[in-house]
Structure 1
Amino acid sequence: MSTTTKPMELKTQSPPASTQTNGRPGVEGSTSRTSQPVIHHQIVVVGGGAAGISAAAQLLERKRNLDIAIIEPSDKHYYQPGWTLVGGGIAPLAKFIRDERTVIPKGATWIQARVAELDPDHNRVITESGQIIEYDYLIVAPGIQIDWHLIEGLPEALGKGGVTSNYSKDYAPYTWETIRNFKGGTAIFTYPATPIKCGGAPQKIMYLADDVFKSKSGVGVNTKVLFCTATPTLFAVPEYSAALEKVVERRGIQVKFKHNLKAIRPETQEAIFEVTTDNGKEEVSLHYDMIHVAPPMSAPDFVKRSPLAGPGGWVDVDKATLQHTRYPNVFSLGDASSLPTSKTAAAARKQAPVLAENLLAAMQSKPPVAQYDGYTCCPLITGYNSLIMAEFAYGGKLAPSFPLDPTRERYSMYLAKVHLLPWLYWNRMLKGKKFEADIFKPINKLVHRY
């Protein structure tokens, strides 16, 4: 798969003569606080990641003359589900990176800036440079905030001494370096007490590492693998949790439930956990020779302190319509939303068309016409040739795309994760295209073969 694409035509606005931009055509640049006129767009999207781009693309597929602006500070766009493949040595990081410019939907305006404040009472967004951007409708999709600092010692320890995390592109390559060069000992993989994006990722890299230890590097006989999770089960959906219990039992992995990582002490190679017991909470220290950390996460700070935030700090939206519970011209999807489902790209893919239909209905003063059923998907890699395609909806209801037992490990699903899903992301999801009906026909045939 190519890592470059032909730049799309971007709608632009000429900045006032008294301001300076970053010099790239098609981008509204950050300017000084004292000389910035107010900008207005019909629809403003906060966030140019998977959710924001998909929502904008879905809207423009339905109505090409919409005036949509996407506020996104990064000049790169990342396929984050690929970072597990990077950490497992399956693919290079470069395979999962595009220039942000190439994924901005044709007809949308890209404002390259960071949001500092959401002001829904005045229908405006304020950037860190002080730029005021007014809107008729707002889509909030800034993704999730990774709170590395909430684990004492972690920010300083990352990227050396066997301390790593696939939740950053900066450390995913080091994960593979650590696994490949591991000489034996105790390898710990953690899961925090907060909601996180891609809840299966901490286990995926653990199973890949265990494969390397046992069959490739030969250090398995001298290695103890621990999964330390703050949760009471391996997975939120009982059927998939039961399947994963068989995986860890087969592999001889030790699971420690209700263990929440609180600190890293790299000088002594200790991981400090807060453990919930029947008698309360206690502190436990575990030695590590390598540790993969899934850090705590939350909604971005500018979301948490805004009037849009609900319980937990997430954008407070109706779980079916994706419309804000108090501001009818505001919608949200993806990781920053309050939607009670796993935070994955697959969830955003299903949310985007629902949001588009309901926002367009709102523009016509009509009630919501589409409903999101909570669908999400977590491709649970259980080894270098096996994967459980965990698809489910609200209430933990199984929602498989294929007419087979979804709790079984399959080679075909592994192939789909490594080869098909990235292609669908770049070429269908981010372009607002439907793909289930046509694309999955040959995949169904492949599934039945393996």
Structure 2
Amino acid sequence: MAAWSSKSTFAVRLLTNMSFSPRYSSSYEVVIAGGGTGGISVGARLARALGKDKVAIIEPSNDHYYQPMWTMVGAGLKTLSATRSAMSDVMPSGVKWIQNSVGKFNPEENTVQLASGEEISYKYLVVAMGMNLHFEKIKGLPDAFETPGVCSNYSPTTVLKTLEALKNFKEGNAIFTFPASPIKCPGAPQKIMYLADEYLSKHGKRDKANIMFNSAGAGIFAVKKYAESLTKVVTDRNIATNFGLNLVEVKPDTKEAVFAKLANPEETETYRYEMLHITPPMATAEAIRDSTLADAAGFVDVQSKTTQHKKFQNVFALGDCTNLPTSRTAAAVACQNKILTANLLSHRESRPQTMVYDGYTSCPLLTSSNSCILAEFDYNLEPLETFPVNQGKERRTMYSVKSTLLPFVYWNMLLKGRWGGPGFYRKLMHFGMSK
């Protein structure tokens, strides 16, 4: 027994000190960087086309969120838990989940280095890493979130503070900001403003509130048709719009927000606030910005019609991290995931890439808890509407589309790689007379 005990102890020590290979392969047919909407939907499509364990998704998070619903969470219309699913539950069947972060892209060598130091090689790379929030670029943040009235619907850790701010509102300025940087879901900063207007009206506080939209943008919306409708909304509801202002500092001790004038950045305007909803500056991940995949602005440099990289033919990208010249929304990703997958598979088989992206994107602009303007448009900022009605008008039916239909499509179709946008239904509803 003593001899056996000695041998077993030695074996345990030997096994403990041995260096084991990682729990995943070091090479895949396709590596997808990012497990958000784009990465999961493309992964599902490619796994079906290529077979089991040919596709890997690099994603560190345990949770996957349906972020378009956070506007409604902030207004108390939905719960945060309704927007969350475990990442393991949405990860496509047949895909290898590498639960790690991207440390470095090496497209010249067809490899991705993980944050852990391990290297993964690929034949094809899909970049779908979205954009990161940078609250810290605003002086006084993120610490100011621990003080009354400061909130943001853009993060699961701050979205509930929006409802708290509405509940605690007494009187004064309710300010909603829009930054100078590109952002995801650019309609969201004003959606919560309209819902806040309704909330304060229902609770008898609206006459004590001065609601303001302080935006770094030049106007309320980029598409003329919807801009005209939204201008009427803010006018009718006595909401002030101040354009060309970029939030640069929050002073919670005095409840002041400092904005730089874009026309003259050295000049600032300071506003007192009772409620301050912040849309933070955003940027792509450092791994993208530091790589040869990026353009001068730090976004993945892709062909606008095919989503293929301009320099590296075996690299494709979609979503918020790209320089595709359209609004960054889940609806845009819904179209891009189908087009990207088809073009990647065509390139892999040395066939022409025939799928073309026209820049379709959509922004359901909630104007109350029972009305919505459903903006849909293309690269040319021309309306590209699905339904055979004027979607520039506030409608209860469009609210139902936003609150009920789109979440169903997201969880049950888009993430499973079975939704490529409403193009077919648009043609059907317009009797084939629409794109």
TM-score normalised by the chain length of structure 1: 0.88
Q: Per-residue deviation at 1:18?
A: 2.9
Matched letter for residue 258 of structure 2: I
Matched letter for residue 405 of structure 1: N
Query: 2:238 — aligned with what?
Result: 252
Contact 2:59–2:101 (8 Å) recurs in 1: yes
In 2, distance between residues paired with 1:281 and 1:378? Answer: 33
Matched letter for residue 104 of structure 2: E
* Mapping for residues 343-354 of structure 1, pairs under 5 Å: 343-354=328-339
In 2, distance between residues paired with 1:125 and 1:273? Answer: 40
1:394 aligns with 2:379: yes
In 1, distance between residues paired with 2:21 and 2:159? Answer: 36
Matched letter for residue 18 of structure 1: S
In 2, distance between residues paired with 1:174 and 1:437? Answer: 34
1:99 aligns with 2:100: no
Contact 2:386–2:423 (8 Å) recurs in 1: no
Matched letter for residue 269 of structure 1: K
Q: Per-residue deviation at 1:437?
A: 7.3
Q: 1:187 aligns with which of 174, 180, 198?
A: 174
In 1, distance between residues paired with 2:224 and 2:422? Answer: 29
In 2, distance between residues paired with 1:74 and 1:239? Answer: 39
What whole-Å deviation, never above 9, does each CA across 1:87-118 have from its counterpart, x for those lacking one? Answer: 01001100011110111111110000011101
Give the match's secondary structure for 1:207: helix
1:240 aligns with 2:226: yes
Query: 2:364 — aligned with what?
Result: 379
Q: Per-residue deviation at 1:365?
A: 2.1
In 2, distance between residues paired with 1:297 and 1:401? Answer: 30
* Mapping for residues 50-449 of structure 1, pairs under 5 Å: 50-64=37-51, 67-214=54-201, 216-277=202-263, 281-434=266-419
Q: Per-residue deviation at 1:282?
A: 1.4
Give the match's secondary structure for 1:116: strand
Q: Per-residue deviation at 1:295?
A: 0.6
Q: Per-residue deviation at 1:58?
A: 2.0
Give the match's secondary structure for 1:335: helix
Matched letter for residue 117 of structure 1: K
Distance 1:409 1:427, change over 3 A: same
In 1, distance between residues paired with 2:74 and 2:129? Answer: 24
In 1, distance between residues paired with 2:69 and 2:144? Answer: 24
Q: 2:28 aligns with which of 28, 33, 41?
A: 41
Matched letter for residue 279 of structure 2: A
Q: Per-residue deviation at 1:344?
A: 0.6
Structure 1: tracts of 5 or more residues without a match: 1-15, 22-26, 29-37, 445-450
Count of matched residue positions in the alignment of Structure 1 and Structure 2: 413
Distance 1:280 1:154, change over 3 A: closer
Contact 1:159–1:171 (8 Å) recurs in 2: no
In 2, distance between residues paired with 1:314 and 1:420? Answer: 31
In 1, distance between residues paired with 2:19 and 2:86? Answer: 28
Contact 2:331–2:421 (8 Å) recurs in 1: no
Q: Per-residue deviation at 1:311?
A: 2.6
In 2, distance between residues paired with 1:244 and 1:210? Answer: 14
Contact 1:124–1:134 (8 Å) recurs in 2: yes
What whole-Å deviation, never above 9, does each CA across 1:209-252 have from its counterpart, x for those lacking one? Answer: 010111x2101111100100001100111111111100000100
In 2, distance between residues paired with 1:420 and 1:159? Answer: 35
Query: 2:9 — aligned with what?
Result: none
Q: Per-residue deviation at 1:380?
A: 0.3
Distance 1:379 1:115, change over 3 A: same
Q: Per-residue deviation at 1:276?
A: 3.2
In 2, distance between residues paired with 1:285 and 1:65? Answer: 57
Contact 2:53–2:96 (8 Å) recurs in 1: no
* Percent of paired sites with the same residue: 43
In 1, distance between residues paired with 2:103 and 2:421? Answer: 37
Structure 2: tracts of 5 or more residues without a match: 1-16, 430-435
In 2, distance between residues paired with 1:405 and 1:265? Answer: 43
In 1, distance between residues paired with 2:222 and 2:105? Answer: 32
TM-score normalised by the chain length of structure 2: 0.91
In 2, distance between residues paired with 1:435 and 1:343? Answer: 16
- Please, what is the CA RMSD of the aligned residues? 2.1
Give the match's secondary structure for 2:193: helix
Matched letter for residue 163 of structure 1: V
What whole-Å deviation, never above 9, does each CA across 1:330-357 have from its counterpart, x for those lacking one? Answer: 0000110110101111100100010001
Q: Per-residue deviation at 1:178?
A: 1.1
Q: Per-residue deviation at 1:420?
A: 1.2
Pick which of 170-179 and 324-333 moved more: 170-179
